[in-house]
């Protein structure tokens, strides 16, 4: 015989309705299709959502060395989704999220869009963010590697701009479930630029994205990469998890293989898509609003405004602004190189961030 409740019937119904409303609030804004996707792919069960979250929260006491600065339900939920509701894995990710910030305090000083270093990186297109999602509901991020003017932007500031952008985007519960796609165009990226990608800064990026952030990356796609970018793989391989190596695809100039994974109607013309060329200032305008200013002329593309929560302090910058030149793909818009069987090795997944 089960436990006996002495609550009046109307009070028991009220309690159940209250719990149901609370859990519905955590899934507010999700489409029925996304809720079903979360159930099937991520093991998300609204009936036990509160228990799952509380189990993760209860583990915090085991890491007194880490300052868990945010532990509300909505925040913990994104870590559960990123780890398919395995509570121990979700807590490990949560702990690594805050530990990464403790170990790299300078990166997160003045961690907001109008910080001088982050602002320059955003204006230079690090990262680009497409307005529309792909056919799986994933947000597409773009990096035009040749835009890295090393006298203007440090690699750390570019990484900070990417992490800040992800912080803004991950507030959307749809993206917590559907995830992200990253496309990197290596056109005109010089050997001199590549030589600045040292093992230590690559390790910093991998730790920040692979091990310490609650995002699902469905794929990382390299386009027009030179031979020395292939060589970089040998540098970062020791820092990658086995499962991580499955989701970066090296396409070279074979846009046909890219389109097999991301349909052309979701891509700008730089990647052989049907959309107009990407406007590098769009995402910067979204985050900076009235604070946006640039010496270059951009064609405005409207995005929904997104609120960025700020923490304030000052961070000294060592770079001074100067005009930058926008990168263009060496492959003309709409030009596809059809894949031969002998070229399959060029499009095999080598590594990824997840």
Q: Per-residue pLDDT tens for 72-120?
A: 999 999 999 999 999 999 999 999 999 999 999 999 999 999 999 999 9
Going by pLDDT thresholds of 50, 70 and 90, the confidence category of residue 332 is very low
Which domains, ranges and CATH numbers included, belong to the chain? 27-102 (1.10.8.20), 111-292 (3.40.525.10)
Average the pLDDT over 35-51 and give the result.
95
Who contacts 29 (Cβ-Cβ below 8 Å, separation ≥6)? Answer: 173, 174
pLDDT digit string, tens, across residues 182-207: 999 999 999 999 999 988 898 899 99
Helix (H) and strand (E) counts in the chain: 13, 5
Strands 128-129 and 139-144: antiparallel
pLDDT digit string, tens, across residues 262-286: 999 999 999 999 999 999 999 999 9
Q: List beta partners, residue 122.
A: none
How far is CA 354 from its chain centroid? Answer: 9
**pLDDT beyond 80 at 171:** yes
**pLDDT beyond 80 at 322:** no
pLDDT, mean over the chain: 81
Residue with the two structure tokens 């890219």: 258
- Residue 349, helix vs strand vs coil: strand
Going by pLDDT thresholds of 50, 70 and 90, the confidence category of residue 24 is low
Written in H, E and C, the secondary structure of 7-43 is CCHHHHHHHHHHHHHHHHHHCCCCCHHHHHHHHHHHC
How far is residue 118's CA from residue 114's CA, in Å, rounded to a whole number? Answer: 7
Going by pLDDT thresholds of 50, 70 and 90, the confidence category of residue 294 is low
286: nearest Cα among 174, 147, 139, 102 = 139
97: nearest Cα among 115, 118, 117, 70 = 70
**pLDDT beyond 90 at 135:** yes
pTM above 0.75, yes or no: yes
Query: 25-29, 47-51, 334-338: which has the minimum mean pLDDT?
Result: 334-338
- Residue 130, helix vs strand vs coil: coil
Structure tokens at 247: 């989701």
If you count them, how many residues does the chain have?
A: 354
Res 235: pLDDT? 75
How far is residue 133's CA from residue 266's CA, in Å, rounded to a whole number? Answer: 7
How far is residue 281's CA from residue 15's CA, in Å, rounded to a whole number? Answer: 50
Query: 72-86, 240-254, 262-276, 304-318: which has the minimum mean pLDDT?
Result: 304-318
């Amino acid at each position: 015989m089960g436990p006996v409740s002495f609550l009046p019937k109307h009070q028991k119904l009220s309690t159940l309705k209250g719990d149901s409303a609370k859990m519905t609030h955590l899934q507010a804004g999700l489409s029925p299709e996304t809720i079903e996707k979360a159930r099937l792919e991520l093991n998300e069960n609204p009936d036990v959502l509160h228990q799952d979250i509380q189990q993760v929260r209860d583990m915090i006491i085991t890491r007194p060395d880490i300052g868990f600065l945010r532990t509300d339900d909505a925040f913990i939920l994104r870590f559960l989704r990123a780890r398919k509701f395995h509570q121990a894995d979700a807590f490990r990710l949560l702990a690594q999220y805050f530990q990464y910030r403790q170990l790299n305090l300078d990166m997160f000083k003045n961690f907001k869009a109008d910080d001088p270093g982050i602002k320059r990186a955003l204006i230079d297109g690090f990262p680009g963010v497409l307005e529309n999602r792909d056919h799986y509901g994933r947000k597409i991020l773009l990096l035009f590697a040749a835009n890295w003017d090393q006298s203007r932007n440090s690699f750390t500031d570019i990484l900070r701009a990417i992490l800040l952008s992800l912080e803004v985007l991950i507030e959307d519960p749809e993206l917590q479930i559907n995830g992200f796609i990253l496309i990197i165009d290596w056109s005109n990226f010089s050997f001199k630029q590549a030589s600045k990608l040292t093992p230590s800064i690559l390790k910093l990026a991998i730790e920040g994205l692979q091990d310490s952030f609650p995002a699902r990356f469905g794929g990382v796609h390299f386009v027009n990469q030179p031979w020395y970018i292939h060589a970089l793989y040998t540098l970062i391989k020791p820092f990658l998890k086995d499962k991580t190596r499955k989701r970066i695809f090296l396409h070279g100039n074979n846009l046909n293989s890219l389109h097999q994974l991301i349909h052309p109607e979701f891509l700008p013309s730089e990647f052989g898509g049907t959309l107009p060329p990407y406007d590098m200032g769009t995402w910067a305008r979204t985050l900076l609003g009235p604070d946006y200013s640039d010496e270059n002329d951009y064609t405005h593309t409207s995005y929904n405004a997104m609120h960025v929560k700020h923490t304030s302090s000052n961070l000294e910058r060592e770079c001074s602004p100067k005009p930058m030149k926008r990168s263009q793909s060496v492959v003309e818009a709409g030009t596809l190189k059809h894949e031969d069987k002998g070229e399959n090795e060029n499009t095999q997944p080598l590594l990824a961030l997840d």
